[in-house]
Amino acid sequence: MKIFDRVICLSDGYTIYNGSPMDLGSHFGKFGLEEKKFANPADRLLNIACMPEMELNPGVTIEQLAI
């Protein structure tokens, strides 16, 4: 059973993700943000949105994640 078919996430006024929950990992993987084994993807997304300076790799900005 699928609960969500679309996830929209905002950070600092930018839409950083808008799409299927299944594609979340591959989207952020393009920016060097790997999925961590045994980690909750929703928690990871919230950490990226709320604390981008702590989660993003050096040289990657929240503007680059914007769609």
pLDDT digits (tens, 9 = 90+) for 16-32: 999 998 898 888 888 88
Alpha-helix residue ranges (DSSP H) falling in 1-67? 24-29, 41-50, 52-55, 62-65
Is 17 part of a structural domain of the chain?
yes
pTM: predicted TM-score of the whole model, two decimal places: 0.80
> What is the number of domains present in the chain?
1
Residue 17: per-residue pLDDT:
93
Share of the chain above pLDDT 90, in %: 28
Closest CA to 34 of 18, 15, 53, 57: 57
Is 2 part of a structural domain of the chain?
no
d(C-alpha 33, C-alpha 50), whole Å? 15
Which residues in 36-52 are b (16+ Cβ under 10 Å) and which e?
Answer: eeeeeeeebbeebbeeb
- Averaged pLDDT for residues 39-65: 88
Is 46 part of a structural domain of the chain?
yes
